[in-house]
Structure 1
């Protein structure tokens, strides 16, 4: 959701006058922005309106009728979906270099999920009227966007299979391995996941009950695989955690910052 007019004026301005907030180490190579070459990246970063979102501030709202995309320059956001009975599920975590809101920009349907900032975020809102001419001029960017959607669909399909066929401890180990690789900070005691998630949020992310997640976390901690505290998790042994998750032992290195 585009911020309300007062907030929009306070936190947003033209990208031409403000400029892009680019991470010092660039964007992850598997993110949408990280896949673009320097020329295309330079051009797409000139589109839209640059905004800042505070922690816990909604970026997009489920059900709203809008068709802009949001390019995340810095920070982390969570994607959630809610039912009428109040049940909420965390669908994914998005980080710097990612695009959110792309489905509505393609099919003009109401937003299927809410996107909320987990921390302070610098981003760019690109309206469909500006995005489509750019994609027509640069079909390779349109292909990269399509590839991003396909990979997210593949991940969603795999997650549904895991929810049906794997035990909670294995599902949790897989999710923590993935978060450590994509959003981890390497320190002296292991890889600290840079996302503040409560146990209810972790439970929603892997489709489990809170008490089951609490038990699985305690077992992983007893096994020396993770350290836990209030809304933080440090992975002490990435190789053994991946083994517990039923994944190949050699993990790709995560972010260093």
Structure 2
């Protein structure tokens, strides 16, 4: 979550953020027969862009599987500042932890693009878990993955430069809405606002503008007709490469503490 750190404003507080590619959460890991049982009575839900799927504090009455579209997971400060914790693409699950622990939603989820989802109720999940208690084994995998993502994000927000964090965010966005063109150039085919991009990186908008200017000055990123264009993927990866070495070291320490905890 976002906290006020000393004299640092909420807008500048470090943010745990992760753009999650492909598959995330417990449901996609389940055996086919268990997954089929869960989806047998799933209800369809459709969202228009900018529409809320649910809001922080809502009852955790079920979870959603995203079939098509793009979602953002958001927390807000009392002053109204937003932080994007994650972007979810097709195949990901939103809200499964509330189904498991019964607590209210800890964040809000909004559609970035029109979305097609399947809703699995808490009652259906619990009934399936009673018949297939092995479902809880997969929780260990989910919790371990979230611990890894959390340590990665804390390290990135604490130690990387704004330019490196922006490079990471743009590269990860490209996984979902990037179109490859000639000479390895990738166009992010979604007109993401500077406010959303700043909320992903975890910085104030004015700092984002300076970081974008740096990348544009190096010709690594340009903008055409409202779309961000990544002109040199290799150079952007080098800009974010320090992340890999740094996070590997921190992950070792984090996992050491985790193993001591469960022993």
Shorter-normalised TM range: 0.7 to 0.9
Residue in 1 aligned with 2:235? 240
Residue in 1 aligned with 2:215? 220
Provide the C-alpha distance between the structure 2 equivalents of 1:94 and 1:40, rounded to a whole number of angstroms: 23
Residue in 1 aligned with 2:42? 48
Identify the match of residue 162 of structure 1 among 150, 156, 159.
156
Residue in 2 aligned with 1:178? 172
- Map 1:147-158 onto structure 2 (within 5 A): 147-158=141-152
Going from structure 1 to structure 2, the CA distance change for 1:97 and 1:186 (only over 3 Å counts) comes to same
The answer on whether the counterparts of 1:79 and 1:91 sit within 8 Å (CA) in structure 2 is yes
Residue in 1 aligned with 2:247? none
Structure 1 segments of 4+ aligned residues over 3 angstroms from their partners: 27-45, 135-146
Identify the match of residue 58 of structure 2 among 54, 64, 68.
64
Q: Deviations over 1:140-159 (max 9, x none)?
A: 65444553343234223321
Aligned length: 223
- Map 1:50-199 onto structure 2 (within 5 A): 50-138=44-132, 141-144=135-138, 146-188=140-182, 190-199=185-194
Provide the C-alpha distance between the structure 2 equivalents of 1:156 and 1:100, rounded to a whole number of angstroms: 17
The answer on whether the counterparts of 1:118 and 1:195 sit within 8 Å (CA) in structure 2 is no
Which fold has the larger relative contact order, with Cα–Cα distance below 8 Å and residues 6 or more apart in sequence? 2
Provide the C-alpha distance between the structure 2 equivalents of 1:153 and 1:220, rounded to a whole number of angstroms: 31
The answer on whether the counterparts of 1:31 and 1:97 sit within 8 Å (CA) in structure 2 is no
Provide the C-alpha distance between the structure 2 equivalents of 1:245 and 1:117, rounded to a whole number of angstroms: 28
- Structure with the higher fraction of residues in helix conformation: 2
Deviation at residue 106 of structure 1 after TM alignment: 1.6
Structure 2 unaligned regions, length at least 5: 1-20, 245-263
- Relative to the length of structure 1, the TM-score reads 0.75
- Relative to the length of structure 2, the TM-score reads 0.74
Moved more, 31-40 or 96-105: 31-40
Going from structure 1 to structure 2, the CA distance change for 1:145 and 1:234 (only over 3 Å counts) comes to farther
| Alignment root-mean-square deviation, CA | 2.7
Structure 1 unaligned regions, length at least 5: 1-26, 250-257
The answer on whether the counterparts of 2:54 and 2:109 sit within 8 Å (CA) in structure 1 is yes
